[in-house]
Amino acid sequence: MERRSEPQRTQGLHLVRAEPTGTPGEHPPCERCTSKCCRYIAIEVDRPSTSRDFDQIRWYLLHDGVVVWVQDGAWHVEFRTPCSALQSDGRCGIYDSRPQLCRDYGYGDTSPCDYWAKPSDFDLMFENAPSFEAWVESERARKARRREAARRRRAAGERA
Ligand code: SF4
Ligand code: SF4
């Protein structure tokens, strides 16, 4: 799943479905979708490596409607806010002049669109600051254990 289009959106209403139906094909199934790709924007950010970086991610997550996810090792900040051109019936209100990004999404070389997204597509998903803080703590503990195990292996090697 890669995030962001808008193909035959002029056909019918978008039905609410809990689970996707069918299989990914040449065209995204917009007629069966709830306009998932029109309800957020996501920006790739640098992978956090310093305390300051981690604190910045935490700051993003302290805001309502902001989530952070990692896919194929790339970190993204997602702002869950609908496009102002999205109509209440799920159709694009500026279909003929919609941005190229919307026209391209879900076609060609891009991977299947958001309609097919599932939790396992993500390496990590943080919906709020506490979940991120807990993950940071668990990572710190895991790295501390690895360092301690390495130290013990070195000490055992020196004694041998
Ligand atoms: S998520 Fe896919 S199926 Fe849904 S509106 Fe966007 S491109 Fe169409
Ligand atoms: S311009 Fe139209 S297709 Fe593009 S995000 Fe907005 S509502 Fe969706």
Say if CB 41 and CB 79 are below 8 A apart.
yes
- pLDDT for 95-128, tens place per residue? 999 999 999 888 865 578 899 888 899 999 999 9
CA atoms 7, 71, 78, 76: torsion sign: negative
More confident residue, 6 or 78: 78
User: Is the Cβ atom of 33 under 6 angstroms away from ligand 1?
Assistant: yes
Which of 73-87, 109-123, 127-141 has the weakest average pLDDT?
Answer: 109-123
CA-to-CA distance for 60 and 48, rounded, in angstroms? 13
DSSP state of 103: H
Return the bridge partners of 67, or none: 78
User: Is the Cβ atom of 37 under 6 angstroms away from ligand 1?
Assistant: yes
Return the bridge partners of 69, or none: 76, 125
Q: What is the pLDDT of residue 24?
A: 63
More confident residue, 72 or 19: 72
Q: What is the pLDDT of residue 22?
A: 59
Q: What is the pLDDT of residue 131?
A: 97
- Pick the atom of ligand 2 nearest to 102's CA: 4
Angle between helices 51-61 and 129-159 (to 10 degrees): 150
User: Is the Cβ atom of 114 under 6 angstroms away from ligand 2?
Assistant: no
Return the bridge partners of 71, or none: 74
Q: What is the pLDDT of residue 9?
A: 28
pLDDT of residue 4 exceeding 70 = no
Number of H helices, E strands in the chain: 3, 4
